[in-house]
Amino acid sequence: MFLSRVRINPNLKKLAEHLGSGVSYHSHQLLWKLFSHNEERQFLFRKELVKRGPLAGLIEFYVQSEELPVSNGNQFILETKEYEPKLNVGDKLSFRLRVNPTIKINGKRHDVVMHAKTKLRNSDKLDKVADFDLITQSAIEWITNEIRTQAWGIRFDISPVVLSYQKETIFKESKKQTLSYGVVDFEGVLVVTDVEKFNSTLKNGVGRAKAFGCGLFLIKRL
């Protein structure tokens, strides 16, 4: 695999401003250009804001891909390295994860936070629970679900932290429809329990809305 940091050329001010407006699907379409030699264009990405240095305030992307990205124009500043983590059972890794957490009920997908709010609203308890407490509880229950963590090949000795939750709404031009989805940012420490499963998790990402910048595990050894 390859892990790349992709920055928009700061001279292309209008493009940078457009991508900074939260239009994640447009980001995905733009990043496709790095993989024009691959018809499947399989990659995961995460959008960030540059916090320091002369490019502070501009957009950058972390992109994980099976294929080597290639920039053929002047839109991107591209830095790429080979990415093949050497992992062992018991390894502790710090992680960041932006994910669209959903659950399936009666054949339909539901945002876990909105589902939790609906249950409380139906029981007349919604006003008694702080909004961020509800977000944190439902999101933590989702990511620490034992069936899910076993499938990912990890465990949590310490509960992850919920940094934020936001509802995203986009208009998908190709299908002329508006889509809404919830996004949770987690960070914390995980323990590898199954190397093969976790490598698959890293490669394929987790959750849904991957075309909108979700699902990429960013890990670092402790």
Token digits of residue 210: 């991957």
Token digits of residue 47: 């959008």
Taken in order of first residue, the domains within the chain and their CATH numbers are 2-82 (3.30.70), 92-221 (3.30.70.1210)
Report residue 78: phi and psi, to 5°.
Answer: -115, 125
Q: What's the pLDDT score for residue 128? A: 46
Q: What's the pLDDT score for residue 1? A: 92
Distance, in Å, from the CA atom of 68 to the CA atom of 57, rounded to the nearest integer, reads 27
Mean pLDDT by 10 residues, the chain (222 residues): 86 55 62 72 84 72 91 82 95 97 85 76 53 83 96 97 86 68 94 98 93 93 92
Q: What's the pLDDT score for residue 42? A: 82
Token digits of residue 2: 């390859």
Nearest to 71 by CA among 13, 2, 173: 2
Distance, in Å, from the CA atom of 33 to the CA atom of 193, rounded to the nearest integer, reads 36
Q: What's the pLDDT score for residue 212? A: 87
Specify whether the CB–CB gap between 44 and 63 falls below 8 A: yes
Distance, in Å, from the CA atom of 170 to the CA atom of 56, rounded to the nearest integer, reads 26
pTM of the complete model: 0.84
Specify whether the CB–CB gap between 208 and 181 falls below 8 A: yes
Q: What's the pLDDT score for residue 122? A: 57
Specify whether the CB–CB gap between 172 and 70 falls below 8 A: no
CA angle 221, 193, 134 (to 5 degrees): 80
- What is the separation of C-alpha 204 from the centre of its chain, rounded to a whole number of angstroms? 12
